[in-house]
A and B are shown apart, each in its own frame.
Chain A
Amino acid sequence: MNRIFQRPASLLDRPTHFCPGCTHGIAHRLIAEAIDELGIRERTIGIPGVGCCVFLYHYFPIDVLEAPHGRAPACATGMKRAQPDKIIFAYQGDGDMAAIGTSEVIHAANRGENVTVFYINNSVYGMTGGQMAPTTLLGQQTTTSPYGRDFKSEGYPIRMAEMLATLEGVCYSTRVALHTPRHVNQARKAVIKALEMQNAEMGFSVVEMLSTCNTNWRVTPLEAIDMIENEMIPYYPLGVFKERTGKDFL
Protein backbone atom coordinates (compact mmCIF):
# COMPACT_ATOMS: atom_id res chain seq x y z
CA MET A 1 0.00 0.00 0.00
CA ASN A 2 1.30 3.46 -0.82
CA ARG A 3 1.41 5.58 2.31
CA ILE A 4 0.66 9.22 1.74
CA PHE A 5 0.64 10.39 5.33
CA GLN A 6 2.93 9.26 8.08
CA ARG A 7 4.80 10.33 11.15
CA PRO A 8 7.89 12.42 10.26
CA ALA A 9 11.17 10.64 10.98
CA SER A 10 12.14 13.55 13.24
CA LEU A 11 9.18 12.96 15.53
CA LEU A 12 9.27 10.01 17.94
CA ASP A 13 6.34 7.64 18.35
CA ARG A 14 5.43 8.58 21.92
CA PRO A 15 2.20 9.22 23.76
CA THR A 16 1.86 12.98 24.10
CA HIS A 17 1.76 14.78 27.44
CA PHE A 18 -0.09 17.73 25.89
CA CYS A 19 -3.77 18.14 26.76
CA PRO A 20 -6.27 16.98 24.15
CA GLY A 21 -7.00 19.98 21.94
CA CYS A 22 -3.66 21.69 22.51
CA THR A 23 -1.82 22.78 19.36
CA HIS A 24 1.71 22.47 20.77
CA GLY A 25 1.69 19.01 19.16
CA ILE A 26 0.94 20.51 15.75
CA ALA A 27 3.85 22.89 16.12
CA HIS A 28 6.07 19.91 17.02
CA ARG A 29 4.93 18.07 13.95
CA LEU A 30 5.56 21.02 11.64
CA ILE A 31 9.07 21.46 12.96
CA ALA A 32 9.79 17.74 12.63
CA GLU A 33 8.50 17.76 9.04
CA ALA A 34 10.66 20.74 8.19
CA ILE A 35 13.72 19.05 9.71
CA ASP A 36 13.02 16.00 7.58
CA GLU A 37 12.40 18.02 4.47
CA LEU A 38 15.65 19.95 4.85
CA GLY A 39 17.56 16.82 5.86
CA ILE A 40 19.12 18.53 8.88
CA ARG A 41 18.16 16.26 11.78
CA GLU A 42 21.70 15.17 12.57
CA ARG A 43 22.96 18.72 12.83
CA THR A 44 19.97 20.30 14.52
CA ILE A 45 19.98 21.15 18.23
CA GLY A 46 16.80 22.22 19.99
CA ILE A 47 16.57 24.48 23.02
CA PRO A 48 13.16 24.45 24.70
CA GLY A 49 12.18 27.14 27.15
CA VAL A 50 10.46 26.31 30.41
CA GLY A 51 6.74 25.74 30.03
CA CYS A 52 4.65 23.06 28.39
CA CYS A 53 7.34 22.82 25.70
CA VAL A 54 10.07 21.71 28.10
CA PHE A 55 9.74 18.03 27.14
CA LEU A 56 10.92 18.71 23.60
CA TYR A 57 13.52 15.93 23.94
CA HIS A 58 10.71 13.52 24.57
CA TYR A 59 9.44 13.93 21.03
CA PHE A 60 12.41 14.90 18.88
CA PRO A 61 15.28 12.50 18.15
CA ILE A 62 17.79 15.37 18.18
CA ASP A 63 20.24 16.85 20.70
CA VAL A 64 18.48 19.06 23.23
CA LEU A 65 19.62 21.61 25.81
CA GLU A 66 17.16 22.61 28.50
CA ALA A 67 17.47 26.37 29.08
CA PRO A 68 16.40 28.36 32.13
CA HIS A 69 12.99 30.06 31.82
CA GLY A 70 13.21 32.73 29.12
CA ARG A 71 16.90 32.34 28.39
CA ALA A 72 16.81 30.04 25.37
CA PRO A 73 17.85 32.79 22.93
CA ALA A 74 20.98 33.47 25.01
CA CYS A 75 21.78 29.75 25.20
CA ALA A 76 21.19 29.53 21.46
CA THR A 77 23.59 32.44 20.96
CA GLY A 78 26.38 30.70 22.85
CA MET A 79 25.71 27.43 21.10
CA LYS A 80 25.52 28.87 17.58
CA ARG A 81 28.72 30.87 18.11
CA ALA A 82 30.43 27.70 19.25
CA GLN A 83 28.99 25.64 16.38
CA PRO A 84 28.12 27.87 13.43
CA ASP A 85 27.58 24.84 11.20
CA LYS A 86 24.68 23.53 13.30
CA ILE A 87 21.01 24.46 13.02
CA ILE A 88 19.91 25.82 16.38
CA PHE A 89 16.31 26.54 17.28
CA ALA A 90 14.69 27.76 20.46
CA TYR A 91 11.10 26.83 21.23
CA GLN A 92 9.46 29.23 23.63
CA GLY A 93 6.05 29.96 25.07
CA ASP A 94 4.66 33.45 25.46
CA GLY A 95 5.49 33.55 29.16
CA ASP A 96 8.98 32.35 28.39
CA MET A 97 9.67 34.72 25.51
CA ALA A 98 7.30 37.67 25.88
CA ALA A 99 7.55 38.05 29.67
CA ILE A 100 10.60 36.79 31.53
CA GLY A 101 12.78 36.46 28.43
CA THR A 102 12.11 39.70 26.53
CA SER A 103 15.63 40.98 27.06
CA GLU A 104 17.32 37.85 25.75
CA VAL A 105 15.14 37.52 22.64
CA ILE A 106 15.39 41.19 21.71
CA HIS A 107 19.16 41.25 21.98
CA ALA A 108 19.69 37.94 20.21
CA ALA A 109 17.47 39.28 17.42
CA ASN A 110 19.22 42.62 17.43
CA ARG A 111 22.64 40.98 17.11
CA GLY A 112 21.24 39.07 14.18
CA GLU A 113 22.16 35.75 15.75
CA ASN A 114 21.73 33.14 13.06
CA VAL A 115 19.18 31.08 15.00
CA THR A 116 15.45 30.44 14.80
CA VAL A 117 12.86 30.96 17.52
CA PHE A 118 9.52 29.17 17.38
CA TYR A 119 7.24 31.17 19.61
CA ILE A 120 4.04 29.56 20.83
CA ASN A 121 1.56 32.25 21.82
CA ASN A 122 -1.37 30.75 23.73
CA SER A 123 -2.00 33.96 25.69
CA VAL A 124 -1.43 32.38 29.12
CA TYR A 125 1.22 30.70 31.27
CA GLY A 126 0.08 27.20 30.40
CA MET A 127 2.28 24.98 32.50
CA THR A 128 1.78 26.82 35.77
CA GLY A 129 -2.00 26.80 35.48
CA GLY A 130 -3.14 29.49 33.08
CA GLN A 131 -2.10 32.70 34.80
CA MET A 132 -2.18 36.02 32.99
CA ALA A 133 0.72 36.68 30.60
CA PRO A 134 1.69 39.92 28.79
CA THR A 135 -0.05 38.35 25.78
CA THR A 136 -3.39 37.77 27.52
CA LEU A 137 -6.20 39.51 25.61
CA LEU A 138 -8.07 42.47 27.06
CA GLY A 139 -10.99 41.22 29.07
CA GLN A 140 -9.67 37.66 29.10
CA GLN A 141 -10.20 35.93 32.42
CA THR A 142 -7.33 33.90 33.81
CA THR A 143 -6.46 32.60 37.25
CA THR A 144 -4.64 35.87 38.00
CA SER A 145 -6.95 38.18 36.06
CA PRO A 146 -10.23 36.83 37.42
CA TYR A 147 -12.09 40.01 36.44
CA GLY A 148 -10.62 40.04 32.97
CA ARG A 149 -7.44 41.78 31.84
CA ASP A 150 -7.85 45.53 32.27
CA PHE A 151 -5.50 47.77 30.30
CA LYS A 152 -5.58 50.38 33.07
CA SER A 153 -3.82 48.01 35.39
CA GLU A 154 -2.18 45.40 33.17
CA GLY A 155 -1.58 47.26 29.93
CA TYR A 156 -2.18 45.88 26.47
CA PRO A 157 -1.23 42.52 24.99
CA ILE A 158 2.25 42.59 23.50
CA ARG A 159 2.78 41.86 19.80
CA MET A 160 6.20 40.22 19.60
CA ALA A 161 6.37 39.40 15.89
CA GLU A 162 5.76 43.03 14.94
CA MET A 163 8.17 44.31 17.57
CA LEU A 164 11.00 41.98 16.59
CA ALA A 165 10.45 42.85 12.91
CA THR A 166 11.69 46.37 13.68
CA LEU A 167 15.18 45.08 14.52
CA GLU A 168 17.81 45.13 11.79
CA GLY A 169 19.25 41.77 12.78
CA VAL A 170 15.99 39.97 12.02
CA CYS A 171 15.71 38.31 8.60
CA TYR A 172 12.26 36.82 9.03
CA SER A 173 9.40 37.57 11.39
CA THR A 174 5.97 36.17 10.84
CA ARG A 175 2.80 35.25 12.70
CA VAL A 176 0.83 32.14 11.82
CA ALA A 177 -1.96 30.18 13.51
CA LEU A 178 -2.49 26.48 14.12
CA HIS A 179 -6.27 26.15 14.41
CA THR A 180 -7.39 25.10 10.89
CA PRO A 181 -5.84 22.95 8.16
CA ARG A 182 -5.42 26.01 5.96
CA HIS A 183 -3.57 27.85 8.72
CA VAL A 184 -1.47 24.82 9.52
CA ASN A 185 -0.42 24.67 5.90
CA GLN A 186 0.67 28.30 6.01
CA ALA A 187 2.47 27.67 9.26
CA ARG A 188 4.29 24.72 7.69
CA LYS A 189 5.71 26.98 4.99
CA ALA A 190 6.77 29.57 7.57
CA VAL A 191 8.61 26.97 9.66
CA ILE A 192 10.48 25.68 6.62
CA LYS A 193 11.33 29.18 5.47
CA ALA A 194 12.71 30.15 8.88
CA LEU A 195 15.01 27.13 9.00
CA GLU A 196 16.03 27.60 5.38
CA MET A 197 17.00 31.17 6.10
CA GLN A 198 19.10 30.03 9.05
CA ASN A 199 20.71 27.48 6.77
CA ALA A 200 21.51 30.33 4.38
CA GLU A 201 23.03 32.28 7.30
CA MET A 202 20.67 35.20 6.91
CA GLY A 203 20.23 36.08 10.57
CA PHE A 204 17.57 35.82 13.21
CA SER A 205 14.23 34.26 12.27
CA VAL A 206 11.11 34.03 14.42
CA VAL A 207 7.80 32.30 13.79
CA GLU A 208 5.02 33.25 16.18
CA MET A 209 2.29 30.61 16.28
CA LEU A 210 -1.14 31.40 17.74
CA SER A 211 -1.94 28.33 19.74
CA THR A 212 -4.82 26.95 21.75
CA CYS A 213 -4.82 26.29 25.47
CA ASN A 214 -8.37 25.04 25.91
CA THR A 215 -7.59 23.60 29.33
CA ASN A 216 -6.58 26.91 30.82
CA TRP A 217 -9.00 28.94 28.74
CA ARG A 218 -11.61 26.65 30.32
CA VAL A 219 -13.32 25.90 26.98
CA THR A 220 -13.73 22.88 24.72
CA PRO A 221 -11.20 22.28 21.95
CA LEU A 222 -13.74 23.41 19.36
CA GLU A 223 -14.48 26.58 21.26
CA ALA A 224 -10.76 27.19 21.51
CA ILE A 225 -10.49 27.07 17.74
CA ASP A 226 -13.20 29.68 17.51
CA MET A 227 -11.39 31.82 20.05
CA ILE A 228 -8.26 31.84 17.92
CA GLU A 229 -10.28 32.88 14.89
CA ASN A 230 -12.55 35.42 16.56
CA GLU A 231 -10.49 36.80 19.41
CA MET A 232 -6.80 36.21 18.88
CA ILE A 233 -6.41 36.86 15.16
CA PRO A 234 -8.25 40.22 15.29
CA TYR A 235 -5.70 41.44 17.86
CA TYR A 236 -2.73 39.44 16.59
CA PRO A 237 -2.96 39.75 12.80
CA LEU A 238 -1.40 36.99 10.75
CA GLY A 239 1.22 37.83 8.19
CA VAL A 240 4.86 38.37 7.41
CA PHE A 241 6.27 41.43 9.15
CA LYS A 242 9.79 41.16 7.86
CA GLU A 243 11.45 39.07 5.23
CA ARG A 244 14.89 39.68 3.84
CA THR A 245 15.42 38.49 0.33
CA GLY A 246 19.17 38.08 0.30
CA LYS A 247 22.13 38.84 2.49
CA ASP A 248 21.01 42.46 2.30
CA PHE A 249 22.55 43.55 5.54
CA LEU A 250 23.32 47.18 6.22
Chain B
Amino acid sequence: MYGDVIMGGFGGQGIQVISQLVVEAAIRKGLEVTYLPSYGVEKRGGRTTVTVVLSDHEIGSPITNHPLCVIAMDVLALDKYQAMVAPGGSLIANTSLIPDEKIERGDISAITIRCNEEALSLGTAKVANMIALGAFLERSPILGFDDIERVMGDVFPERLHAKIPLNLKALIRGMEIAAAVPV
Protein backbone atom coordinates (compact mmCIF):
# COMPACT_ATOMS: atom_id res chain seq x y z
CA MET B 1 0.00 0.00 0.00
CA TYR B 2 1.58 3.26 -1.11
CA GLY B 3 0.31 6.78 -1.71
CA ASP B 4 1.77 10.19 -2.17
CA VAL B 5 0.40 13.67 -2.69
CA ILE B 6 1.79 17.12 -3.32
CA MET B 7 -0.40 19.98 -2.11
CA GLY B 8 0.37 23.52 -3.18
CA GLY B 9 -1.10 26.99 -2.79
CA PHE B 10 -0.58 30.12 -0.81
CA GLY B 11 -0.50 30.70 2.92
CA GLY B 12 -3.95 30.95 4.50
CA GLN B 13 -5.58 28.43 2.17
CA GLY B 14 -5.45 25.79 4.86
CA ILE B 15 -2.99 23.46 3.18
CA GLN B 16 -1.13 22.91 6.45
CA VAL B 17 -4.37 21.84 8.09
CA ILE B 18 -5.47 19.32 5.48
CA SER B 19 -2.00 17.85 5.17
CA GLN B 20 -1.83 17.55 8.95
CA LEU B 21 -5.18 15.74 8.93
CA VAL B 22 -3.94 13.29 6.30
CA VAL B 23 -0.74 12.62 8.20
CA GLU B 24 -2.39 12.17 11.60
CA ALA B 25 -5.05 9.91 10.12
CA ALA B 26 -2.37 7.75 8.54
CA ILE B 27 -0.35 7.52 11.75
CA ARG B 28 -3.54 6.55 13.60
CA LYS B 29 -3.93 3.71 11.10
CA GLY B 30 -0.43 2.53 11.91
CA LEU B 31 0.99 3.61 8.56
CA GLU B 32 4.41 5.06 7.87
CA VAL B 33 4.35 8.72 6.86
CA THR B 34 6.74 11.38 5.69
CA TYR B 35 5.66 14.99 5.71
CA LEU B 36 7.84 17.51 3.91
CA PRO B 37 6.74 21.12 4.18
CA SER B 38 8.38 23.96 2.32
CA TYR B 39 10.80 25.88 4.48
CA GLY B 40 13.14 28.87 4.41
CA VAL B 41 13.36 30.73 1.12
CA GLU B 42 10.69 28.56 -0.46
CA LYS B 43 8.30 29.78 2.21
CA ARG B 44 8.93 33.44 1.47
CA GLY B 45 6.32 35.16 -0.62
CA GLY B 46 3.73 33.12 1.17
CA ARG B 47 3.87 29.90 -0.87
CA THR B 48 2.95 26.68 0.83
CA THR B 49 3.92 23.33 -0.59
CA VAL B 50 3.67 20.03 1.19
CA THR B 51 4.68 16.56 0.10
CA VAL B 52 3.13 13.66 1.99
CA VAL B 53 4.04 10.02 1.46
CA LEU B 54 1.99 7.21 3.04
CA SER B 55 2.85 3.55 3.10
CA ASP B 56 2.40 0.36 5.07
CA HIS B 57 6.13 -0.26 4.45
CA GLU B 58 9.21 1.72 5.40
CA ILE B 59 9.29 4.87 3.32
CA GLY B 60 12.40 5.61 1.32
CA SER B 61 12.17 8.87 -0.55
CA PRO B 62 10.19 11.67 1.09
CA ILE B 63 10.10 13.46 -2.28
CA THR B 64 8.63 12.48 -5.61
CA ASN B 65 8.51 13.92 -9.12
CA HIS B 66 5.54 11.82 -10.19
CA PRO B 67 3.02 12.01 -7.38
CA LEU B 68 -0.10 9.88 -7.60
CA CYS B 69 -2.08 12.95 -6.61
CA VAL B 70 -1.63 16.71 -6.78
CA ILE B 71 -3.89 19.19 -5.02
CA ALA B 72 -3.41 22.58 -6.67
CA MET B 73 -5.16 25.31 -4.71
CA ASP B 74 -4.08 28.09 -7.04
CA VAL B 75 -2.71 28.64 -10.51
CA LEU B 76 0.95 28.83 -9.47
CA ALA B 77 0.71 25.40 -7.87
CA LEU B 78 -1.00 24.05 -10.97
CA ASP B 79 1.71 25.45 -13.25
CA LYS B 80 4.38 23.85 -11.13
CA TYR B 81 2.92 20.42 -10.47
CA GLN B 82 0.42 19.50 -13.22
CA ALA B 83 3.11 18.06 -15.44
CA MET B 84 4.40 15.87 -12.62
CA VAL B 85 1.22 13.90 -11.88
CA ALA B 86 1.87 10.22 -12.55
CA PRO B 87 0.00 8.91 -15.61
CA GLY B 88 -3.32 7.58 -14.35
CA GLY B 89 -3.02 9.70 -11.21
CA SER B 90 -5.35 12.45 -10.04
CA LEU B 91 -5.20 16.19 -10.17
CA ILE B 92 -7.49 18.11 -7.86
CA ALA B 93 -7.61 21.67 -9.10
CA ASN B 94 -9.28 24.58 -7.34
CA THR B 95 -10.87 26.23 -10.36
CA SER B 96 -12.02 29.15 -8.23
CA LEU B 97 -8.46 30.36 -8.76
CA ILE B 98 -7.42 28.38 -11.85
CA PRO B 99 -8.82 28.98 -15.36
CA ASP B 100 -10.41 25.74 -16.63
CA GLU B 101 -8.46 25.82 -19.88
CA LYS B 102 -5.24 25.43 -17.93
CA ILE B 103 -6.12 21.82 -17.16
CA GLU B 104 -4.26 20.20 -20.06
CA ARG B 105 -3.35 16.63 -19.22
CA GLY B 106 -5.55 13.98 -20.78
CA ASP B 107 -3.79 10.97 -19.26
CA ILE B 108 -4.81 11.73 -15.69
CA SER B 109 -8.06 12.10 -13.83
CA ALA B 110 -8.60 15.82 -13.39
CA ILE B 111 -11.09 16.82 -10.74
CA THR B 112 -11.91 20.49 -11.10
CA ILE B 113 -13.75 22.02 -8.19
CA ARG B 114 -14.61 25.62 -7.52
CA CYS B 115 -13.60 25.10 -3.92
CA ASN B 116 -14.13 28.68 -2.77
CA GLU B 117 -17.69 28.92 -4.16
CA GLU B 118 -18.57 25.44 -2.89
CA ALA B 119 -17.32 26.43 0.54
CA LEU B 120 -19.24 29.72 0.46
CA SER B 121 -22.41 27.85 -0.32
CA LEU B 122 -21.85 25.97 2.96
CA GLY B 123 -21.55 29.26 4.78
CA THR B 124 -17.83 30.20 4.77
CA ALA B 125 -14.95 30.30 2.32
CA LYS B 126 -12.73 28.98 5.08
CA VAL B 127 -13.61 25.35 4.37
CA ALA B 128 -12.41 25.47 0.74
CA ASN B 129 -9.47 23.33 1.82
CA MET B 130 -11.86 20.66 3.17
CA ILE B 131 -13.68 20.51 -0.15
CA ALA B 132 -10.35 19.67 -1.80
CA LEU B 133 -9.49 17.16 0.91
CA GLY B 134 -12.87 15.49 0.38
CA ALA B 135 -12.01 14.99 -3.27
CA PHE B 136 -8.65 13.51 -2.25
CA LEU B 137 -10.37 11.06 0.12
CA GLU B 138 -12.77 9.98 -2.58
CA ARG B 139 -9.79 8.96 -4.72
CA SER B 140 -7.55 7.62 -1.98
CA PRO B 141 -7.40 3.83 -1.60
CA ILE B 142 -5.69 4.39 1.78
CA LEU B 143 -7.70 6.95 3.72
CA GLY B 144 -11.42 7.54 4.00
CA PHE B 145 -13.85 9.94 5.60
CA ASP B 146 -13.87 8.04 8.92
CA ASP B 147 -10.10 8.24 9.24
CA ILE B 148 -10.12 12.01 8.98
CA GLU B 149 -13.15 12.44 11.20
CA ARG B 150 -11.40 10.46 13.91
CA VAL B 151 -8.40 12.83 14.13
CA MET B 152 -10.08 16.16 13.54
CA GLY B 153 -10.54 16.80 17.24
CA ASP B 154 -6.82 16.33 17.81
CA VAL B 155 -5.61 18.38 14.88
CA PHE B 156 -8.00 21.31 15.37
CA PRO B 157 -7.28 23.56 18.32
CA GLU B 158 -9.91 23.53 21.06
CA ARG B 159 -11.43 26.84 19.96
CA LEU B 160 -12.31 25.43 16.54
CA HIS B 161 -14.00 22.27 17.77
CA ALA B 162 -17.41 23.84 17.29
CA LYS B 163 -16.58 24.10 13.58
CA ILE B 164 -15.91 20.40 13.12
CA PRO B 165 -19.41 19.52 11.87
CA LEU B 166 -19.15 22.21 9.20
CA ASN B 167 -15.74 20.92 8.14
CA LEU B 168 -17.10 17.39 7.90
CA LYS B 169 -19.92 18.66 5.72
CA ALA B 170 -17.35 20.25 3.42
CA LEU B 171 -15.44 16.97 3.24
CA ILE B 172 -18.60 15.16 2.16
CA ARG B 173 -19.35 17.80 -0.45
CA GLY B 174 -15.85 17.39 -1.90
CA MET B 175 -16.29 13.62 -1.99
CA GLU B 176 -19.61 13.92 -3.81
CA ILE B 177 -18.16 16.16 -6.48
CA ALA B 178 -15.16 13.91 -7.03
CA ALA B 179 -17.36 10.81 -7.19
CA ALA B 180 -19.11 12.29 -10.21
CA VAL B 181 -15.83 12.62 -12.14
CA PRO B 182 -14.87 9.55 -14.16
CA VAL B 183 -11.66 7.90 -12.92
Q: Do any CB atoms of chain A lie under 8 A from CB atoms of chain B in the complex?
A: no
Q: Which residues of B pack against A, CB within 8 Å?
A: none
